[in-house]
């Protein structure tokens, strides 16, 4: 995990240092290596965890930087380079589906002159230069299959060739028709999205429950689609827009504009903003016209897609390994607005890095009200000469925290105040230092700074899936003086927990149960929870599958670590540094004494256990199974079955004539599912 990144619910979020590509001393080859490592991490955060730490715009900029270096050093191109790949791999939670025809991505252009190159490459005759322009929807790509008018299957894009079977979840998307007019086999593709109202409601509810927030509607949509429980999908209110009719000619459709009409005639929802444009000028006008107007839509679009209308020409024009040549995405620059800096706060992150954050006069941007902007570090304040009282241009790339692009210096009145770099930590009053080679200021009080402790608790809890231990509780814990090591969380008793604000006995019991459960999390989660720099879940998985246990990992040298596929030199050094630190070793000893799972082999076996650590109770009669058959199924998938309901129970499966367990489950807010849902859960 990069040093000054924190994707916690509090929204303190800045760019990892390595993202700043002005590292001129690095030679190009080293930079390529770095970019592969950085991009792999961010692709994993985006595609697998639905929890990005950087905006698409920043990700695209890094991909472009890599692409330029790859052109100069083609011999160093990685086989699975992100410049060649479509999306992420299919996850193991769902059945895999091979797409009949690959689901491709789109090439991006960022200016009208780049669009002109796309146009010129098509080399069209005058009367053939007709395009369908549509908005680019920022959601999760899906493929739907209808057989004789009935929706029979739906899948995610996955890596473009193999996706995940998410049929049941798609059935829970209200606007997706389960029946259409068209007969025979029909495959349509489009985007599942979450509109702003559903997104805002979802995050509000999550905040109230102390759960981490979704960074943007796209992550919320794709995270929701991968839920194992279709009821959650239904609750969250997803939408769908279709834009692609596979094998259109077989349905008598010869153009993209007719394909959109065909979809609409079959009640398949089509995104309302599209236009048939004749010639490049009309295309340009469509793009420019919607650049600002898109902010009025109730869903996120990050660009416009320009498609050659005559689809009978598509096969001859062809595609690259990841995108068709007959279409292109025009990516809009992140939306910008003017505001004023009212004050500058300093937050202290998990590793002690001090991050300045500007409080702004509230302004509307990308569909949300913005009142704070990240300032990255103090160097940046100096470089941009940002002063309190300045009028500034702010931008937000449809996600994460907005940033200040520039100061409108011509609007200065003379009353603006130069910001003074702090000499002490605002959270604990200890000294701050600037570390050589880093732009950041850091609080030296690693052992006792309450801000660092609070962030470490939140980070630890979120990686070990400890529900209910969010920002607010972590802040109180850090201030209480009861936690010195993270392992101390496990030494608090019921009265300790219930002494915190808004914590009744019931919530305290729940936390105790959650903590107990967290000890059986796969070892990769535990390794990720430790907060080793650059070691998120993906790197932790790699470490756990290459070493047998913690001791082996602890003793591994730099050379061994950096020889592992997916672990670069930078990460290897960070791992060594972590294990060379006495406080970290003490923490590991304490966690071991608490019976945490540091056996990595066990972790590897658990990987495909989709019900790992889930506790089931059965009541009533099941139609499809005898009780012990159902119990065996749960066990085979890594779950446990107990006889009585407690706050630790994850699911009560209620068959016919369920008894008193039902009311007990209701009282303890245990999830109650029927046999059909149980079947879906085990078959997902």
CA distance 193 to 141: 9
CA distance 49 to 368: 23
The reply on whether position 306 binds ligand IVH by CB under 6 A is: no
Return the SS3 of 447.
coil
Interface region with ligand IVH, contact rule CB under 6 A, candidates 15-23, 99-107, 209-217, 673-681: 99-107
Q: Are 547 and 556 in contact (CB under 8 A)?
A: yes
**Of 151 and 326, CB closest to ligand IVH:** 326
Sign of the C-alpha dihedral, residues 61, 66, 70, 72?
positive
Interface region with ligand IVH, contact rule CB under 6 A, candidates 136-144, 284-292, 492-500, 613-621: 136-144
Q: How far is the CB of 388 from ligand IVH (least distance, A)?
A: 39
Interface region with ligand IVH, contact rule CB under 6 A, candidates 61-69, 101-109, 526-534, 597-605: 101-109
The reply on whether position 314 binds ligand IVH by CB under 6 A is: no
The reply on whether position 596 binds ligand IVH by CB under 6 A is: no
**Of 274 and 618, CB closest to ligand IVH:** 274
Out of 54, 63, 115, 141, point to the residue binding ligand IVH (CB under 6 A): 141
Q: How far is the CB of 368 from ligand IVH (least distance, A)?
A: 21
CA distance 446 to 443: 7
**Of 218 and 614, CB closest to ligand IVH:** 218
Say how many Å lie between the first and final Cα of the chain, rounded: 31
Sequence-distant (6+) residues with CB within 8 A of 627 are 618
The reply on whether position 329 binds ligand IVH by CB under 6 A is: yes
Burial class from Cβ neighbours inside 10 Å (0-12, 13-18, 19+) for residue 74 reads exposed
Out of 9, 180, 233, 305, point to the residue binding ligand IVH (CB under 6 A): 305
**Of 104 and 615, CB closest to ligand IVH:** 104
Q: Which two tokens stand for residue 398?
A: 């449809």
Interface region with ligand IVH, contact rule CB under 6 A, candidates 130-138, 230-238, 402-410, 470-478: 130-138
Out of 5, 18, 106, 542, point to the residue binding ligand IVH (CB under 6 A): 106
Any idea which residue has 């801000």 for tokens?
Answer: 451
CA distance 527 to 464: 10
The reply on whether position 392 binds ligand IVH by CB under 6 A is: no
| DSSP assignments along 389-410, one per residue | T-EEEEEE-SSS--EEEEE-GG
Interface region with ligand IVH, contact rule CB under 6 A, candidates 135-143, 338-346, 412-420, 621-629: 135-143
Q: Are 562 and 569 in contact (CB under 8 A)?
A: yes
Examine the residue annotation and report whether 136 is marked as an active-site residue of this protein. yes
Out of 34, 191, 390, 399, point to the residue binding ligand IVH (CB under 6 A): 191
The reply on whether position 283 binds ligand IVH by CB under 6 A is: no
Q: How far is the CB of 289 from ligand IVH (least distance, A)?
A: 16
**Of 308 and 477, CB closest to ligand IVH:** 308
CA distance 382 to 389: 15
Quickly count: other Cβ atoms within 10 Å of residue 153's Cβ. 15
Q: How far is the CB of 112 from ligand IVH (least distance, A)?
A: 19
Any idea which residue has 């939306």 for tokens?
Answer: 335
CA distance 660 to 538: 43
> What are the strands of the beta sheet with 301-308, ordered from one edge?
108-109, 327-331, 301-308, 130-137, 274-278
Strands 391-396, 403-407: pairing is antiparallel
Interface region with ligand IVH, contact rule CB under 6 A, candidates 51-59, 129-137, 196-204, 421-429: 129-137
The reply on whether position 134 binds ligand IVH by CB under 6 A is: yes
Out of 32, 137, 228, 524, point to the residue binding ligand IVH (CB under 6 A): 137
Q: How far is the CB of 217 from ligand IVH (least distance, A)?
A: 13
Q: Which two tokens stand for residue 210?
A: 């102390």
Quickly count: other Cβ atoms within 10 Å of residue 461's Cβ. 28
Catalytic pick from 84, 136, 331, 519? 136
Out of 31, 44, 85, 136, point to the residue binding ligand IVH (CB under 6 A): 136
Q: Are 11 and 27 in contact (CB under 8 A)?
A: no
Q: How far is the CB of 537 from ligand IVH (least distance, A)?
A: 24
**Of 325 and 590, CB closest to ligand IVH:** 325
The DSSP element (H or E) to which 130 belongs, if any, is: strand 130-137
Any idea which residue has 């028709």 for tokens?
Answer: 177
Return the SS3 of 664.
helix
- Shortest Cβ contact with ligand IVH: which residue? 141
Q: How far is the CB of 247 from ligand IVH (least distance, A)?
A: 13
Interface region with ligand IVH, contact rule CB under 6 A, candidates 21-29, 40-48, 134-142, 288-296: 134-142
| Rg of the chain taking only CA atoms, in angstroms | 26
The reply on whether position 244 binds ligand IVH by CB under 6 A is: yes
DSSP state of 91: P
Q: How far is the CB of 244 from ligand IVH (least distance, A)?
A: 5
**Of 189 and 661, CB closest to ligand IVH:** 189
C-alpha triplet 463, 469, 470: angle, nearest 5°: 90
**Of 137 and 263, CB closest to ligand IVH:** 137
Q: Are 472 and 463 in contact (CB under 8 A)?
A: no
Interface region with ligand IVH, contact rule CB under 6 A, candidates 112-120, 321-329, 377-385, 591-599: 321-329
The reply on whether position 242 binds ligand IVH by CB under 6 A is: no
The reply on whether position 246 binds ligand IVH by CB under 6 A is: no
Quickly count: other Cβ atoms within 10 Å of residue 509's Cβ. 17
Tell me the number of residues near ligand IVH by CB under 6 A. 14
Return the SS3 of 677.
helix
Footprint of ligand IVH on this chain (CB under 6 A)? Answer: 104-106, 134, 136-137, 141, 191, 243-244, 305, 324, 327, 329
Catalytic residues: 136
């Amino acid at each position: 995990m990069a040093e000054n990144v924190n994707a916690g619910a509090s929204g303190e979020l800045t760019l990892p240092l390595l993202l700043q590509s002005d590292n001129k001393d690095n030679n190009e080859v080293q930079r390529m290596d770095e970019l592969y490592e950085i991009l792999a991490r961010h692709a994993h955060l985006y595609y697998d965890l639905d929890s990005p730490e950087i905006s698409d715009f920043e990700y695209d900029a890094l991909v472009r930087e890599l692409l330029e270096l790859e052109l100069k050093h083609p011999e160093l191109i990685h086989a699975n380079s992100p410049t060649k790949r479509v999306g992420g791999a299919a996850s193991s939670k769902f059945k895999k589906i091979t797409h009949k025809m690959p689901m491709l991505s789109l090439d991006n252009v960022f200016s009208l002159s780049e669009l002109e190159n796309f146009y010129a490459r098509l080399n069209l005759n005058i009367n053939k230069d007709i395009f369908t322009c549509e908005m680019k929807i920022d959601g999760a790509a899906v493929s739907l299959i209808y057989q004789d008018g009935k929706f029979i299957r739906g899948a995610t894009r996955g890596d473009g060739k193999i996706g995940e079977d998410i049929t049941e979840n798609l059935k829970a998307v209200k606007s997706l028709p389960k029946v259409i007019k068209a007969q025979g086999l029909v495959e349509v593709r489009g985007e599942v999205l979450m509109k702003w109202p559903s997104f805002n409601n979802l995050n509000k509810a999550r905040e109230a429950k102390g759960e981490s927030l979704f960074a943007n509607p796209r992550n919320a949509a794709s995270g929701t689609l991968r839920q194992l429980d279709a009821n959650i999908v239904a609750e969250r209110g997803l939408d769908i827009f279709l834009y692609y009719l596979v094998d259109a000619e077989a349905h008598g459709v010869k153009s993209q504009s007719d394909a959109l009409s065909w979809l609409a005639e079959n009640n398949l929802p089509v995104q309302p903003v599209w236009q048939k444009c004749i010639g490049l000028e009309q295309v340009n006008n469509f793009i420019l016209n919607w650049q600002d107007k898109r902010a009025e839509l109730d869903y996120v679009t990050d660009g416009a897609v320009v498609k050659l209308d005559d689809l009978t020409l598509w096969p001859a024009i062809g595609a690259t390994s990841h995108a068709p040549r007959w279409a292109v995405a025009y990516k809009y620059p992140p939306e910008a607005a003017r505001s004023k800096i009212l004050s500058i706060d300093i937050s202290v992150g998990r590793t002690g890095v001090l991050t300045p954050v500007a409080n702004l006069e509230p302004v509307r941007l990308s569909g949300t009200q913005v009142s704070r902007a990240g300032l990255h570090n103090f160097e940046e304040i100096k470089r941009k000469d940002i002063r309190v009282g300045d009028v500034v241009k702010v931008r937000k790339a449809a996600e994460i925290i907005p940033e200040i692009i520039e100061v409108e210096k011509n609007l200065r009145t003379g009353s603006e105040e130069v910001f003074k770099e702090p000499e002490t930590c605002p959270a604990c009053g200890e000294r701050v230092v600037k570390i050589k080679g880093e732009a950041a200021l850091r609080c030296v009080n690693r052992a006792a700074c309450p801000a660092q402790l609070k962030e470490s608790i939140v980070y630890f809890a979120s990686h070990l899936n400890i529900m209910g231990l969010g920002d607010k509780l972590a802040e109180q814990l850090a201030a209480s003086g009861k936690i010195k090591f993270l392992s101390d969380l496990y030494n608090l008793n019921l009265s300790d927990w219930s002494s915190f604000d808004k914590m009744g006995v019931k919530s305290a019991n729940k936390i105790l149960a959650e903590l107990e459960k967290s000890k059986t999390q796969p070892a990769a989660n535990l390794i990720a929870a430790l907060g080793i720099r650059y070691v998120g879940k993906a790197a932790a998985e790699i470490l756990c599958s290459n070493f047998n246990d913690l001791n082996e990992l602890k003793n591994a040298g730099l050379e061994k670590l950096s020889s592992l596929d997916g672990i670069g030199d930078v990460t290897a050094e960070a791992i060594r540094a972590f294990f060379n630190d006495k406080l970290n070793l003490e923490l590991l000893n304490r966690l071991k004494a608490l019976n945490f799972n540091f056996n990595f082999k066990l972790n590897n076996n658990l990987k495909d256990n989709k019900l790992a650590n889930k506790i089931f109770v059965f009541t009533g009669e099941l139609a499809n199974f005898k009780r012990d058959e159902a119990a065996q199924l749960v066990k085979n998938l890594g779950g446990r079955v107990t006889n009585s309901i407690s706050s630790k129970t994850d699911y009560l499966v209620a068959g016919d004539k369920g008894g008193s367990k039902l009311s007990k489950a209701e009282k303890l807010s245990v999830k109650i599912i029927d046999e059909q849902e149980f079947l879906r859960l085990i078959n997902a």
